[in-house]
Structure 1
Amino acid sequence: MTGELREAIRGVWADRRVTNTADRTNVVDQLTGADYISLAALLVGWGSALLFVRDEPNLALLAMFGAFALDKADGWYARRTGTSSPFGRQVDSFIDIFAYLVPAVLLYHTVLAPNDVASLLVGFLVFAFGGLRLVRHNSEGFGSDGDASYYHGTTVVHTNLVVVTNYFLWALVPGWNGWLAGLVVTAVCPLMVSDYKAYKTDVSHLLAALGAGIAAGLALALEFGYV
């Protein structure tokens, strides 16, 4: 590279680079330990997506539950260390797309969908209502009902678990099929932007963990032919 070309490139970079300190944002510097846990959840969630594409739904579900666990761990770590921030909540919502919505859509598409049109419509509804639900949550935050906090509308976790439940119904219940699964998922998607109060309690977290544990056990049983 000639000296003249090098100087020309430096000149373009200097013209385009944000130099005002007030306008500069170093994303890496804003990341906390909780955010790195969130990024680990993204990695595992992406691994789950690849397993779905490779037609390994049971292994994909196990990876997805690993992403769930990391997603819960980042919030616990942020509260424990006092590092919660608006930036961190944005990161968490971004990861939720890949930890909950993408696996749910791929599970329906690769296993349950009776045809591409059904997959197109169900996937669109999951992404559209799920995305709008995350945008609203970032804008409004948690609701408060006395000493209790609640999510405004059902969460992407609820929708994901509905899709997972339909997968096990398809695998274990004669007559259950992709059309019925699609109707159920379609019916629950608008609840994510409804006025339903999904309370954020220790009991709800325990039930979610219990449901994930049962689902992981069923996935293992299906994978190794026990059921």
Structure 2
Amino acid sequence: MQNFDKESVKSKGIYLLPNLFTTAGLFSGFYAVIASMNGQFESAAIAVFVAMLCDGLDGRVARMTNTQSEFGAEYDSMADMVSFGVAPALIAYNWGLADLGKVGWLAAFIYCAGAALRLARFNTQVGVEDKRYFQGLASPAAAALIAGSIWFGEQSGVEGSDVSWLLALVTIISGLLMVSNFRYHSFKDFDWRGKVNFIVILIVVGIFVFISIEPALILCSIFYIYALSGPVITIYRIRKLKHPATVDDDSMVKKEDEE
């Protein structure tokens, strides 16, 4: 009976290390909302990127330390909804969408609903879909589109009210891309524990230096390119599947003509 009690208590425990990163990401997302309410939009956008960093670390730390758990997966999903669903929608609304009235908050809601649906679909497809690709734009990348745009706008001295319609378009498209069937590379097939050449480390350092030159513009551009990569990859794969059939048909026609 004592052994049973010890095992039950142990099974109810929560792994500390990965959930610390998840909590840090949740805090960053919540701070982003508060900062946007106070008109500190640049700080709010940066907080979303910090949440992205924490979100990328918690899962990898859990796998590397063998501390995965159902609680951690559910907690991570809830934190993602706050950091990459609610926070970007409210930041966009407070920065420029509020001037559009009903259209503005509907655009923000479309994004928020898209993030919720994207996370729900991802949770139901764990262990089923190809790990090399995401189905639909990942919610952190969608959040980076909005946060990066607002961050760059703030640094450029652009008022949200001047680009409210453009912001609404980006917000709606980001929400729709999350629930689309476009395939995006997940980069999960990269071996983070493997050995690399010394040149690779120098390249990584160079990338960090390059981003630090103009972080708002460079990060915004990177995630816009990534958002466009989904439709490009999907269309390319569809054409690639159709191309062999076309080649075979042409070769068959040539053989028949020769005969």
User: TM-score, normalization: structure 1?
Assistant: 0.70
Letter in 1 for 2:147: V
Deviation at 1:84, TM superposition (A): 1.9
Q: Deviations over 1:154-182 (max 9, x none)?
A: 11122212212432564439796110121
Regions of 4+ moved over 4 Å: 24-28, 142-145, 168-171, 173-176, 202-206, 213-216
**1:39·1:95 contact (CA, 8 Å) conserved in 2?**
yes
Cα distance in 2 between the residues matched to 1:103 and 1:122: 14
**1:100·1:160 contact (CA, 8 Å) conserved in 2?**
yes
**1:38·1:70 contact (CA, 8 Å) conserved in 2?**
yes
- Aligned with residue 184 of structure 2, among 168, 176, 198: 198
Does residue 143 of structure 2 align to residue 160 of structure 1?
A: yes
- Aligned with residue 216 of structure 2, among 198, 212, 218: 218
Structure 1 vs Structure 2 CA RMSD: 3.5
Distance 1:52 1:203, change over 3 A: farther
Cα distance in 2 between the residues matched to 1:186 and 1:41: 24
Distance 1:142 1:42, change over 3 A: same
Does residue 88 of structure 2 align to residue 100 of structure 1?
A: no
Identity of aligned residues (%): 22
1:64 alignment partner in structure 2: 48
SS at match of 1:29: coil
Cα distance in 2 between the residues matched to 1:154 and 1:178: 23
- Aligned with residue 186 of structure 1, among 172, 180, 188: 172
Name stretches of at least 5 consecutive residues in structure 1 with no aligned partner: 1-20, 220-227
Name stretches of at least 5 consecutive residues in structure 2 with no aligned partner: 193-203, 218-259
User: TM-score, normalization: structure 2?
Assistant: 0.62
Distance 1:101 1:74, change over 3 A: same
- Equivalent residues, number: 191
1:140 alignment partner in structure 2: 125
Letter in 2 for 1:130: A
Cα distance in 2 between the residues matched to 1:216 and 1:130: 28
SS at match of 1:160: helix
**1:142·1:152 contact (CA, 8 Å) conserved in 2?**
no
**1:143·1:150 contact (CA, 8 Å) conserved in 2?**
no
